[in-house]
Amino acid sequence: MSATGVSATPPVLVLGAGGWGSALAVMLTRHGRPVTLWARRADFAEQLRCTRENTTYLPGVALPDGVQVTADLGVVGAFGWALVVVPSAGVEELLSVLPRSLGVVLCAKGLSSDGRRLSELAADLGFARRAVLSGPNHAEEVGRLLPAASVVASPDQEFALQVQQATLTPTFRVYTSPDLPGVELGGVLKNVMALAAGMVDGLELGDNAKASLMTRGLREMGRYLASQGAQEDTVYGLSGLGDLMATANSRHSRNRAAGERLARGLDPAQGGKVVEGLRSAQLLSDWAQAHGHDLPIVKAVRQVVTGAWTLEEGVAALMGRDAKPERN
């Protein structure tokens, strides 16, 4: 067995052939791990097989021969678990047709249509083995074998270790955590904060404003995690602070770019790619209002995204809040 454990575990099934699913498939295969990559559409699967490149979501990165592409969900029967790498809006539809004996590793950083965590959705559908994979992981970099770290969280430590050993490679360092809600919600919330960071960039409000926003955003994330029974200090790990730093500052970030486009009067969802933070901002804000919880940055993003506030009104609302100690 190698130091990474790569040679001791079976091939990996990746359900979802978008940018992140393709990047994981490329990275794992380049390090000697055969991968079966499932695409929802048969024509898209055929395109990937013929061109050996995902020109739509991960252009410029070749799919190695070790990536077997299919649109047949029947392949699931040959695997004990799978990386589920479809957008959050499509997770329920996919899970509903998968065998409940399958272990599912949820990789989308969003919520279900009714505001549930995706792992809660999986539990409600009868999946006993559940985990999430989250961290500062831009597909464009992981697919090019640039170094990155991530965390797999599950209440089932044996399952978490199994996934860790199967995905750990010389360029992708994977940690484990028992704090499933904390790791999962960190990824959801950081997308909303990245939208806000993009708005700051688009309005050219400066470095001070962005640093202040990110710091208070991290505090807001921690409070929300604690309210959901998660460990508040999880927010300072890879799925919280780490992912926030990457997403709020990167040219690869869809959410940051969407906020910047919105600030410049453009369509935030330009290009047809999923921007998870747009939907999460509304779902989280609805929850906060219903439960009397204070999520001021999430609320401001939601109000701006829905057109209830102008960008200037959003900034004024945050800057005009009551004075208080920093730790509140």
Residue ranges for the known binding site for NADPH are 20, 40-41, 57, 109, 139, 254, 274, 276
Binding site for NAD(+), by residue number, is: 16-21, 139, 254, 273
C-alpha–C-alpha distance, residues 199 and 264, integer Å? 8
φ/ψ bin of 51: left (φ > 0), alpha (ψ from -120 to 50), beta (otherwise): alpha
Handedness of CA 190, 196, 197, 202 (dihedral sign): positive
Q: Where are the alpha helices (DSSP H) in the chain?
A: 19-30, 42-51, 88-95, 118-124, 139-142, 157-167, 180-203, 207-227, 243-249, 254-263, 276-291, 296-305, 311-319
Q: Is 277 helix (H, G, I), strand (E, B) or coil?
A: helix
C-alpha–C-alpha distance, residues 95 and 158, integer Å? 22
Radius of gyration of the chain, Cα coordinates, nearest whole angstrom: 19
Token pair in block for residue 142:
């992981």
With beta carbons less than 8 A apart as the criterion, state whether 58 and 20 touch. Answer: no
Q: What share of the chain is helix, strand, coil (3-state, %, to 5)?
A: 50, 15, 35
324 is catalytic: no
Residue 79 sits at φ, ψ, to 5 deg, of -125, 150
Residue whose structure tokens are 């700051």: 200
C-alpha–C-alpha distance, residues 193 and 318, integer Å? 13
User: In the chain, what is the greatest distance between 2 CA atoms, to the nearest angstrom?
Assistant: 60
Binding site, by residue number, is: 16-21, 40-41, 57, 109, 135, 139, 190, 243, 253-255, 273-274, 276
Edge-to-edge, what's the strand order for the sheet holding 67-70?
Answer: 67-70, 35-38, 12-15, 81-84, 103-106, 130-134, 148-153, 172-177
Binding site for sn-glycerol 3-phosphate, by residue number, is: 109, 135, 190, 243, 253-255
Annotated catalytic residues are: 190
